[in-house]
């Protein structure tokens, strides 16, 4: 990931900080539940200091910081070695998912209007009426 003019970006796509974007500076970012982390997430599934994102020679890397529940890149749990990230990679830590670089994710779709057939609209042309009617002898029938 060559970002000589712009900082690498992390887009939070799931979890408590979903919708947030973080620029990764040369000094890096720590992710964890501790308030001392640059990406602090109130998630009990995270270690206090879970993962480290670093920029080295223009590329973005991630390292698991010996966390209890691990750090995963594209579904594969990291070991002790740092891993090179590329645009589109998915990093999961705790209940959070972060997408590396590229464009921000689109907003979630708006809920569709669904007709559950509970009224509110005109009945189909060939559907029987459900309105009450009066018989010729004054009684009511449907």
pLDDT per residue as tens digits for the range 110-136: 666 666 666 655 555 565 555 555 556
Q: Tokens 């620029």: give the residue.
A: 23
For the chain, give the percent of residues with pLDDT over 70. Answer: 68
* Mean predicted lDDT score pLDDT of the chain: 83
* Mean pLDDT within 69-86: 95
Q: What is the DSSP letter of 120?
A: S
pLDDT for 8 beyond 70: yes
Q: What is the DSSP letter of 124?
A: P
Q: How far apart are CA 12 and CA 10, in angstroms?
A: 6
Residue 139: per-residue pLDDT: 59
Q: How far apart are CA 99 and CA 126, in angstroms?
A: 51
Closest CA to 52 of 32, 68, 76, 72: 32
Which residues, in sequence order, are CB contacts of 130 under 8 Å at separation 6+? Answer: 123, 142
Q: How far apart are CA 61 and CA 101, in angstroms?
A: 12
Instruction: Judge contact between 64 and 79, C-beta under 8 A.
Output: yes
* Mean pLDDT within 86-99: 96
Q: Of 2 and 39, which is predicted with more confidence?
A: 39
3-state SS track over 11-80? EEEECCCCCCEEECCCCCEEEECCCCCCEECCCCCCCCCCEEEEEECCEEEEEECCCCCCEEECCEECCC
Residue 17: per-residue pLDDT: 94
pLDDT for 49 beyond 70: yes
* Mean pLDDT within 50-74: 95
Residue 7: per-residue pLDDT: 86
pLDDT for 38 beyond 50: yes
């Amino acid at each position: 990931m060559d970002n000589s003019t712009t900082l690498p970006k992390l887009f939070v796509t799931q979890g408590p900080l979903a919708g947030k974007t973080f620029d990764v500076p040369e000094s890096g970012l720590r992710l964890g539940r501790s308030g001392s982390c640059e990406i602090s997430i109130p998630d009990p599934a995270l270690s206090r200091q879970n993962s480290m994102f670093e920029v080295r020679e223009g590329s973005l890397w991630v390292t698991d910081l010996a966390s209890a529940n691990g750090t995963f890149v594209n579904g594969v749990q990291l070991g002790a070695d740092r891993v090179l990230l590329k645009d589109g990679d998915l990093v999961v830590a705790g209940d959070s998912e972060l997408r590396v670089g590229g464009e921000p994710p689109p907003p979630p779709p708006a809920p569709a209007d669904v007709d559950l057939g509970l009224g509110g609209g005109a009945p189909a042309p060939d559907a029987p009426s459900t309105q009450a009617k009066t018989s010729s002898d004054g009684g009511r029938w449907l």
